[in-house]
Amino acid sequence: MKTDNTKTTNSKTADNGYKTTSNGKTTGSGQRTAGTTRSTTEGEFHNFFVEQLKDIYWAEKHLKKGLKKMSRAATSPKLRDAFEKHYNEGDKQIAELETIFGLMGEKPETKRCEAMAGLLEEADGMISDTQRNSFVRDAGLILAAQKVEHYEIATYGTLNALAAYLPEKKVKKMIETILNGEKKTDEMLTCIAEEFVNECAAVE
């Protein structure tokens, strides 16, 4: 009598190619171990976060050019000063973003931000479509600037929430500082509009 030397294991193979063994563990060529899944997820999250930093880094750098244009185009000295103030704050925000890159072990790099590019193009159109030295132009400039601020608030707000899950804990605090600055700028623009710009524009 021939002896069957083939070993039989207590396992089942599912239709998806994964095998369930007697101890309940699932194995298969496509399976990741717990450690691999964790490190891969952390890597993907890190890379995703850095990509968003590159995006807003580009946005901040190009916004400075836009703010200079809006400042020169403004009718009201008060609005002009507001744009100049935010222009000067931009240097600090850019420096803070560069520090955040360093904290994450990355070199500061930019990636074209299509959203900011579009918003700045819209601001240029607002200038060309309105009369010089008019409050209608100022109302348009405030509208364009607040669209920019709301985009930045949304971006930094999301990055702030995501930063809570980064190992570099200082990153969240720095982003939160930038976020609060953007909110203050938005509030300042609203105050200028409500104080006199909207009313003056309405009677021109």
Domain boundaries, the chain: 28-202
pLDDT number for residue 95: 97
Q: Cα separation of 41 and 166, whole Å?
A: 12
Asked if residues 109 and 76 have their Cβ atoms less than 8 Å apart, the reply is no
Its pTM stands at 0.79
Q: What is the mean pLDDT of residues 50-69?
A: 97
> For position 137, what pLDDT does the model report?
98
Residues 92, 88: Cα–Cα separation, whole Å: 8
pLDDT at 199: 97
pLDDT on residue 22: 45
Helix H or strand E encompassing 196: none
- What pLDDT score was predicted for residue 72? 97
pLDDT in tens, 153-197: 999 999 999 999 999 999 999 999 999 999 999 999 999 999 999
**What is the pLDDT, as a whole number, of residue 110?**
98
Q: 83-141, pLDDT tens digit by residue?
A: 999 999 999 999 999 999 999 999 999 999 999 999 999 999 999 999 999 999 999 99
pLDDT at 13: 44
Distance between CA atoms of residues 32 and 35, nearest Å: 8
CATH class of the domain comprising 28-202: mainly alpha
> Which tokens sit at 88?
């000067």
pLDDT confidence of 42, banded at 50, 70, 90?
Answer: low
